[in-house]
Structure 1
Amino acid sequence: MDNQELKLTSAEIGTLWGEYVNGTAVDMINKYMLSIIEIKLLFEDAIKIFATHKKQITQFIENEGFPVPIGFNESDLNKNSKRLFSDIFCLHYLHIMTLHGLLGHSTSLSSSVRKDLRHFYDSCSNDGMNMYHRTTELLLEKGHFQKDPYFFSGGNPEFISGQKFINGFFGDNAL
């Protein structure tokens, strides 16, 4: 079905609106961090990627006759403020925000009907996965990736018989 025949649904407008406002907030933080850090390439790329996404979101919203959200902009950014964060903190921030973006894009995709919008969220997810790999590799390289704890096998599986497995949970004499 042609996209011209399908109007954006309320869910689609809502996800675009959320992507725009959240994206502009993260964009301003990324621009601040870019101004204070030495690890610039990832932040420059993140800013460029969002500029492309922002343009596409704006087109979707305007084509439906809705006003574009105000969002956050350069007036919300004080590039002359003192440095507040280390490069490693900024890298962790970008990594975590990338994870949030991946979750948001997949949620937005799941509520999208129009083909052009679904392709847009596919593209956003691909950009996010690429950034996730890049931030992970850089954090690993710098020795700052927070890995999950390891799990060591206790041997063979056992079947539960009775309620002794509860001992220690409610105290030694729970049963």
Structure 2
Amino acid sequence: MDKNKLKLTSSEIGTLWGEYINGTMTDVVNRYMVSIVEDESIKAIFEDAIKTFAKQKKQIVAFIENEGFPVPIGFTESDLHKDTEKLFTDIFCLNYLHIMTLHGLLGHTTALGVSVRKDLRDFYDSCDNDAKRMYHQTIELLLEKGNFQRDPLFYPAANPEFISSQDFIDGIFGKGRRLGATEIISISFNLKKSIMAKTLSIAFSQVAQSKEVRKFLEDSQNTSDKQIQAFSKIMHADN
């Protein structure tokens, strides 16, 4: 078996499809945001993100076409309206790019985990390196501007402890207990994403021309509200 001529599997094609759809969506939003951002340091990071995806997009298209599959439609120039009023502050745009970079890191790692052919693995390695560079850039700039939202602090106990009853496994929804540090990781991240999703839904619903799209965005706001309330309740359960 010639390992350099392996056909891509369904999982590998699936990850390329996801990279293309997610990438073109993010690119449209990035190109809108770079058109409204006034802070030059933030604008520079968005310009870097746009150039980076343009390079990745060509490689994704080449992989898909070489396997004989049609290139997905994705999000296109028709979805971009630069003449729309400014919907977001510069800092929100930077926070958005940071959250989306985290999604990129997770997505590239998952894609790499199901890829076998070396050229595809090399591609996801490069995507991961690009995302890590962007991750560091967004954090550094958010810290510099005093706008990075850190996770809650965790205070140490006097001594190590062992789980001694079923109550811990029953979770915080049972008799109630303090969160573990590892549980805070996902809860805090999902809380930030829900707040970001609600803000985007509110903003886009103000300019959406389609009644169906506006209704969908309003429903999304309600969903995000419920998620935010649930995550916030968990985070403050032990206060």
1:50 aligns with 2:53: yes
TM-score, normalized by length of structure 1? Answer: 0.89
**Structure 1 residue 154 displacement after superposition:** 2.8
2:94–2:142 contact (8 Å) kept in structure 1: yes
1:18–1:152 distance in 2 versus 1, CA, 3 Å:
same
**Structure 1 residue 156 displacement after superposition:** 2.0
Partner of residue 23, structure 1: 23
More helix by share: 2
TM-score, normalized by length of structure 2? Answer: 0.66
1:152–1:68 distance in 2 versus 1, CA, 3 Å:
same
Q: Secondary structure at the match of 1:79?
A: coil
1:126 aligns with 2:129: yes
Q: Secondary structure at the match of 1:144?
A: coil
Equivalent runs, 1:111-150 vs 2, <5 Å: 111-150=114-153
Partner of residue 32, structure 2: 32
Q: Aligned Cα RMSD in Å?
A: 2.1
Counterpart residue identity of residue 170, structure 1: K
**Structure 1 residue 164 displacement after superposition:** 9.9
The CA distance in 2 between the partners of 1:116 and 1:157, in whole Å, is: 47
1:159–1:130 distance in 2 versus 1, CA, 3 Å:
closer
The CA distance in 2 between the partners of 1:114 and 1:164, in whole Å, is: 47
Pick the structure with greater CA Rg.
Answer: 1
Partner of residue 83, structure 1: 86
Identity %: 70
1:170–1:88 distance in 2 versus 1, CA, 3 Å:
same
1:69 aligns with 2:77: no
2:167–2:175 contact (8 Å) kept in structure 1: no
Moved runs in structure 1, 4+ residues, more than 3 A? 158-166
The structure with higher relative contact order (CA 8 Å, sep 6+) is 1
Counterpart residue identity of residue 52, structure 1: K
1:19–1:155 distance in 2 versus 1, CA, 3 Å:
same
- Residue deviations 1:99-121 (CA, integer Å, cap 9, x gap): 00000000000010100000000
**Structure 1 residue 83 displacement after superposition:** 0.5
Give structure 1 stretches of 5+ with no counterpart.
none
**Structure 1 residue 170 displacement after superposition:** 3.3
Counterpart residue identity of residue 30, structure 2: N
The CA distance in 2 between the partners of 1:164 and 1:123, in whole Å, is: 45
1:152–1:60 distance in 2 versus 1, CA, 3 Å:
same
Partner of residue 8, structure 2: 8
1:110 aligns with 2:113: yes
1:52–1:164 distance in 2 versus 1, CA, 3 Å:
closer
**Structure 1 residue 68 displacement after superposition:** 0.6
Q: Secondary structure at the match of 1:40?
A: helix
The CA distance in 2 between the partners of 1:161 and 1:2, in whole Å, is: 51
Q: Secondary structure at the match of 1:123?
A: helix
